[in-house]
A and B are shown apart, each in its own frame.
Chain A
Amino acid sequence: MTETNNNKEQASTHKIGIYLWIWGLLFVLSFFSYMVDWYQFQGILRWSLILFFMFLKAGLIMAFFMHLFWERYALVNVLLWPMTAIACFIFLMVAEFEYLLFSRLFYFVVGG
């Protein structure tokens, strides 16, 4: 139990300020993404703003609230690389729904 004092000092590494900052930023970013809907932005502007605020919020939560910023790369990379599989899946399914929508509209017009 002699080690506990050393561990205690090492473990409490982060000041409370960093969490309050991230917390505040998340509030501000959520407010902005709500404003995207409030002002009824449309088209590319709307989608890019939604994605921008979404990834920023997700990144802040993962990096600081979930401590990934301070973790060793062995853990961080195990967690983040599988996301590329999800990205691939998204691209595949985008191609799929474009084709499905096209064929539906085509056969609704032309008939079976």
Chain B
Amino acid sequence: MSDPNIQGYELKPGFRGMAKDTGSDQTMFKGVHWGKAMMWIFLLSDTFVFSCFLISYMKGRGSTPEEWPNPSEVFALDAFGVPVPLLLIAIMTFVLITSSGTMAIAVKYGYEKNRKMCGWLVLATAIGGLTFVGMQAFEWSKLIHEGVRPWENPFGAPQFGSFFFMITGFHGTHVSIGVIFLFIYAYKVFAGHYDTGKRGWFTSMKGDYVEIEILGLYWHFVDLVWVFIFAFFYLW
């Protein structure tokens, strides 16, 4: 998305361009807003946090001689009296992907300075995220009712509960923070803060639609983490 147009600097493509950009004695990420670069660096560090959780889950699950609970039974949901494996998780996955798609299109409309479309799509993303958090709260309370605790559960290896609450809880926290910011940014878009360049309360930088892309990066990252949690925790 970077469209650098730097006077007196010739941009080269590929690895040659990377070497030239890095050694240019100027800003290294050509055409990338500093806020966007910082969001990427933050997401990189967050990747490490989530990786550590998932790796510790792998180690915990791999090293126990006890039977690991079968996720497709634990997370089954009765639909019309028939237990459907992972029904709620599948719906949550689709809701999160839907909200990721609306966010991607919101970023596009943001760069086209289409205030209304961008605002509605950010709002739709926020509502999708809220739905996801609601379903996760339902899932948690259902499992707690069934006796799943961080130290024990009726299905098998006791470690299951601690990994489940830790990993999905940390992810849910990210979603919740994202939802709060999505609502704030939806308001800011509708209020035209990015058209007039009004300074924000959070960074005091001049309002620009690049902020929608930065928020979008965070939101897609939340979706990205869910892809890995879905694969490793619910399907494996």
Contacts and interface: CB of A to CB of B under 8 A. Distances in A.
A93 B235 CA distance: 21
Contact of A47 (B51, B220, B236): B236
Interface residues of B, number: 61
B113 interface: yes
Nearest to A92: B55
Contacts, number: 164
Contacts of B112: 8, 11-12
B135 interface: no
A61 B213 CA distance: 14
Chain A interface size band reads: 35 or more
Contacts of B231: 33, 50-51, 53-54
B181 interface: no
Contacts of A77: 18
Contacts of B72: 37, 40
Interface string B1-31: 1111100000101110110011000001111
28 contacts: A12-B111, A12-B112, A14-B108, A22-B101, A26-B101, A27-B94, A30-B93, A30-B97, A33-B230, A34-B86, A58-B228, A61-B223, A66-B224, A72-B29, A73-B14, A73-B15, A74-B21, A74-B22, A75-B29, A77-B18, A78-B44, A86-B55, A94-B62, A96-B63, A100-B63, A104-B64, A104-B65, A108-B65
Interface of A: 7-8, 10-14, 16, 19-20, 22-23, 26-27, 30, 33-34, 36-38, 40, 46-47, 50-51, 53-54, 57-58, 61-62, 64-67, 70-75, 77-79, 82-83, 86, 89-90, 93-94, 96-98, 100-101, 104-105, 108
